[in-house]
Amino acid sequence: SQTIHQWPATLVQPVGSPLSLECTVEGTSNPNLYWYRQAAGRGLQLLFYSVGIGQISSEVPQNLSASRPQDRQFILSSKKLLLSDSGFYLCAWRDHGLASGRDLAKNIQYFGAGTRLSVL
Amino acid sequence: TQLLEQSPQFLSIQEGENLTVYCNSSSVFSSLQWYRQEPGEGPVLLVTVVTGGEVKKLKRLTFQFGDARKDSSLHITAAQTGDTGLYLCAGERNTGKLIFGQGTTLQVKP
């Protein structure tokens, strides 16, 4: 079975410090990978997604970057954190490609447990 | 621009009451998913609907996808305290990316 791991669970960082959040997936190959940010009690905002190694698409301009050095590893980074970077960060995966017709239900994203980032 | 409007944003009810959460859009979705999220955890998928007019039931939860595949609803019958959480709808337009609603925070009081 497939599993997704995200760490750390909680992080407190000073303004101006670097950031590295890691996400790994097991039990599947060539997944689509996603980074989201969520404000408290709100929906998810897509930050980055990747369809393969070294392929990163950015959805919103921001202080963060993403990298995919290996097939099942997705990293969210920043060189200098801002106060506004605080939030709950979620990694997700889904099967590569797009199912159609009755197989649309396969286009499901599975989420990690999230990282609570506090920038002080 | 918010493509998927979810309402209500907050809902506080007594145990045993019924409730409905709505997700509406002017855009057509190839599929729509409902998630439930506990504080400090990632969202967990409840159901995916893919056919216009589709109705799916999960115990006391009933999910409906609009005929035009632009809207969806989640109805909970006889709510229990264990139903408390954040409910999220998310639509896919066959791009590989999900568009999330703003979320509905449900509190069920004993």
pLDDT score, position A41: 82
Residue A50, chain B, CB below 8 Å: the answer is no
* Cα B57 from Cα A116, distance rounded (Å): 33
Residue B81 DSSP SS3:
helix
- Sheet containing strand A19-26, edge to edge, reads A3-7, A19-26, A73-78, A65-70
Residue A107, chain B, CB below 8 Å: the answer is yes
Residue B49 DSSP SS3:
strand
Residue percentage of chain B with pLDDT more than 70: 97
How does DSSP assign chain A, residue by residue? --EEEEE-SEEEE-TT--EEEEEEEES-SS-EEEEEEE-TTS-EEEEEEEEETTEEEESS--S-EEEEEETTEEEEEESS--GGG-EEEEEEEE-SS---GGGGGG---EE---EEEEE-
DSSP state of B51: S
> Residue A82 is encoded by which pair of tokens?
């801002």
How many CB pairs (< 8 A) connect A and B?
71
Q: Which residue has the higher pLDDT, B67 or A41?
A: B67
pLDDT score, position A102: 54
Q: Which residue has the higher pLDDT, B107 or A1?
A: B107
pLDDT score, position A59: 86
Residue B51 has pLDDT above 60, yes or no: yes
Residue B27 sits at φ, ψ, to 5 deg, of -105, 150
Residue A11, chain B, CB below 8 Å: the answer is no
pLDDT score, position A39: 87
The verdict on whether omega for the bond into residue B110 sits within 30 degrees of 0, i.e. cis, is: no
Query: Are B49 and B56 a contacting pair, CB within 8 Å?
Result: yes
Query: Are B4 and B91 a contacting pair, CB within 8 Å?
Result: yes
pLDDT score, position B8: 96
Structural domains of chain A sorted by starting position, each given as residue range(s) with its CATH number in brackets: 3-99+109-119 (2.60.40.10)
Mark yes or no for CB contact B42/A116 under 8 Å: no
Residue B33 has pLDDT above 90, yes or no: yes
Helix or strand run (H / E) with residue B63: strand B61-65
pLDDT score, position B54: 94
Structural domains of chain B sorted by starting position, each given as residue range(s) with its CATH number in brackets: 5-109 (2.60.40.10)
- Chain B residues closer than 8 Å to A104 by CB: 30-31, 48, 50, 92, 94
pLDDT score, position B93: 79
Measure the CA dihedral B18/A42/A111/A67, to 10°.
170
pLDDT score, position A1: 84
pLDDT values of chain A reduced to their tens digit, one per residue, 120 residues: 889 999 999 999 999 999 999 999 999 989 999 999 998 888 899 999 999 999 999 988 778 999 999 999 999 999 999 999 999 999 999 987 665 555 555 678 899 999 999 999
